[in-house]
């Protein structure tokens, strides 16, 4: 019988272990093989879950944009009956984070995939935004260059108005303030904008208001803080 792939959520904030249900730790204790986005942070996370885990006895295989997962190895391990944990940097694996290739490999050999419950920044932001949770789209990163970014923002606003659809997107934390300026410059004053920052952390900040209201908030500063941006023009 093939092994299983367990999708192991991680914390969104280092001091938010409370956001993980106890069965995450129980599951991790039973695993010896992991695919991880970053070996150092994965080791730190596993030790935070349970100090008794012998990190040096574990197999940690990388899966990120610079180190694609070895899928032949994945299939071999599963077919030999070994179970595998998948850990990304923050939140849930394979949702705006690496992991989907390992999951695809599991399905290709009829191995069971087990998604474990944990925090997801997009869903937490959507829940707290007051925007349409029945129809939404997560589009990841917007273009970096101003002309393309401005067009992308306008297109998302138009799609939101046409489909009554909430649009969610993210940016590298050091570019958050510039993205906020670009949203305010390209969206209609009546469009709703939510910025959800530092989710589950003591510094958590979530605010939904119109673009016109955001324009009056000159002190808004989200530099180098993990953030989700949502707009709704429906």
Tell me the CATH number at 177. 3.30.950.10
> Where residue 199 falls among pLDDT bands split at 50, 70, 90?
very high
155-181 average pLDDT score: 97
Range 13-33 average pLDDT: 95
**What tens digit of pLDDT does each residue of 56-97 get?**
999 999 999 899 999 999 999 999 999 999 999 999 999 988
pLDDT tops 90 at residue 44:
yes
| Helix/strand number for the chain, H first, E second | 8, 10
pLDDT number for residue 69? 94
Are residue 29 and residue 109 in the same domain, yes or no? yes
Domain co-membership, 226 together with 127? yes
Average pLDDT over residues 110-137: 97
pLDDT (average), residues 113-137: 97
Do 48 and 101 belong together in one domain?
yes
Q: Please tell me whether residues 20 and 87 are part of one structural domain.
A: yes
147 shares its domain with 95: no
pLDDT for 172 beyond 90:
yes
Last residue of a domain, one of 115, 148, 177: 115
Residues 102 and 127 grouped into a single domain: no
* Length of the chain (residues): 234
**178 to each of 113, 181, 233, how far by Cα in Å?**
39, 5, 21
Q: Do residue 130 and residue 213 come from a single domain? A: yes
129 and 70 within one domain:
no
Q: How confident is the model at residue 151 (pLDDT cuts 50, 70, 90)?
A: very high
Give Cα 160 to chain centroid, integer Å. Answer: 22
Residues 104 and 161 in one domain: no
What is the domain count for the chain? 2
Per-residue pLDDT, 97: 86
Q: Are residues 125 and 98 in the same domain?
A: no
Domain boundary at 115, 135, 155, which? 115
Note down the domain range covering 15.
Answer: 4-115
Looking at the fold, whether 130 and 225 belong to one and the same domain comes out as yes
Q: Could you give the angle at which helices 39-49 and 22-29 cross, rounded to 10 degrees?
A: 110
Compute CA distances 54 → 8, 43, 49, 211, 230, whole Å.
18, 10, 12, 51, 41
Please report, for the domain that includes residue 106, its CATH number: 3.40.1010.10
């Amino acid at each position: 019988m093939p092994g299983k792939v367990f999708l192991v959520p991680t914390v969104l904030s280092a001091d938010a272990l409370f956001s993980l249900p106890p069965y995450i730790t129980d599951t991790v204790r039973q695993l010896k093989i992991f695919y991880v986005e970053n070996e150092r942070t994965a080791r730190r996370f596993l030790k935070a879950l349970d100090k008794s885990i012998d990190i040096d006895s574990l197999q940690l295989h990388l899966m990120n944009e610079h180190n694609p997962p070895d899928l032949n190895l994945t299939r071999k391990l599963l077919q030999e009956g070994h179970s595998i944990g998948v850990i990304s940097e923050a939140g849930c694996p394979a949702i705006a984070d690496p992991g989907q290739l390992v999951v695809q490999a599991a399905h290709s050999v009829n191995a069971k995939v087990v998604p474990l419950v944990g925090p997801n920044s997009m869903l937490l932001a959507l829940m707290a935004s007051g925007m349409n949770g029945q129809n939404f789209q997560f589009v990841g990163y917007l273009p970096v260059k101003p002309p393309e970014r401005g067009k992308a923002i306008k297109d998302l606003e138009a799609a939101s108005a046409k489909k009554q659809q909430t649009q969610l997107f993210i940016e590298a934390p050091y570019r958050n303030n510039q993205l906020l300026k670009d949203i305010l410059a390209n969206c209609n004053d009546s469009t709703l904008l939510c910025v959800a920052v530092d989710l589950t952390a003591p510094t958590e900040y979530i605010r939904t208001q119109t673009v016109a209201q955001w324009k009056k908030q000159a002190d808004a500063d989200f530099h180098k803080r993990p953030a989700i941006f949502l707009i709704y023009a429906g």
